[in-house]
Amino acid sequence: MENKNKNNVDIHEIEKFNLLAHKWWDSTSEFKPLHEINPLRLNFIKSSVNLKGKKVLDVGCGGGILSESLANEGADVTGIDQGDKVIQIAKLHANESGVKVKYKHINIERFYKNTDERFDVITCLEMLEHVPDPNSIINTCSKLLKPGGKIYFSTINKNVKAFLFAIVGAEYILNLLPKGTHEYKKFIKPSQLQAWVSGNDLSFDSIIGMTYNPITQKYKLSQDTSVNYIVEASSVND
């Protein structure tokens, strides 16, 4: 059963990732796919924005794989996550690697209520399908974005192919992810995400898919958005 509360937290999801937190930076562990897709995600962001000197908020930052990459591009990065253990791992790794990232154990709704900061770029990747109310996340992201700022969402499409590839294939056949990582009912069609984006003072700018070839064991960006996809949006306020 899904655990919901007023803070838009699914306790089961938090506990699930906290249990694996110590493996976050092991590129041969259950987080191998995150390590492998990270350059693709980063390059997609860099294709539309120069990160140097930009204030960036990484929502649902986990152990900090993307956050550190953004910081290495010269961005001033804040990473937030609801998992206390994953934030501890993120802080520890940043300290060991000498990368400057400000990490906070907090959800985005509470973060917004307690800060006056606004950001040039916001990333919210592989996160929307793990919360009770994705639209609340998008709404709050839009409020934290500077006029003309960019925001990036990634998630999983909701169709038979996505179920077969992202759950049956990835979790039970190829063992790319731990069993139970995803719930099909939380997957999001691009049309639904577009509606949420457009309804929260954001412009839906572009969409790109991300595919996996089980033969070559490689990920790549493509026009195929039938399973994984990334959306680029921007503030409509100048």
> Using one digit for the tens of pLDDT, what is the confidence trace for 113-136?
999 999 999 999 999 999 999 999
Query: Backbone phi, then psi, for 232, in 5-degree steps?
Result: -105, 130
Q: Specify if 193 maps to a domain.
A: yes
Which pLDDT does position 89 carry in this prediction? 97
Which pLDDT does position 17 carry in this prediction? 86
Q: Which of 21, 125, 106, 15 is nearest to 63 (CA)?
A: 21
Q: Specify if 138 maps to a domain.
A: yes
Q: How many domains does the chain have?
A: 1
Count of C-beta atoms within a 10 Å radius of residue 62: 24
Q: Specify if 1 maps to a domain.
A: no
The residue among 1 and 205 whose pLDDT is bigger is: 205
What number of CA atoms fall less than 13 Å from residue 74's CA on the CB side? Answer: 7
Per-residue pLDDT tens over the stretch 92-108: 999 999 999 999 999 99
Which pLDDT does position 1 carry in this prediction? 33
Which pLDDT does position 2 carry in this prediction? 40
The residue among 178 and 6 whose pLDDT is bigger is: 178
Q: Specify if 2 maps to a domain.
A: no
Q: Specify if 78 maps to a domain.
A: yes
Per-residue pLDDT tens over the stretch 175-211: 888 888 899 999 999 999 999 999 999 999 999 999 9
Region of residue 166 (phi > 0: left; psi between -120 and 50: alpha; otherwise: beta): alpha
8 Å CB contact between 49 and 232: no
Q: Specify if 119 maps to a domain.
A: yes
CATH number at residue 75: 3.40.50.150
Q: Specify if 6 maps to a domain.
A: no
Count of C-beta atoms within a 10 Å radius of residue 205: 14
Which pLDDT does position 238 carry in this prediction? 63
Give the Cα separation of 34 and 61 in Å (integer). 12
Which pLDDT does position 11 carry in this prediction? 84
Residue 3 confidence (pLDDT) above 60: no
Per-residue pLDDT tens over the stretch 45-98: 999 999 999 999 999 999 999 999 999 999 999 999 999 999 999 999 999 999
Q: Specify if 209 maps to a domain.
A: yes
Give the Cα separation of 39 and 69 in Å (integer). 8
Which domain, by its residues, includes 64?
11-235
Which pLDDT does position 231 carry in this prediction? 98
Count of C-beta atoms within a 10 Å radius of residue 176: 18
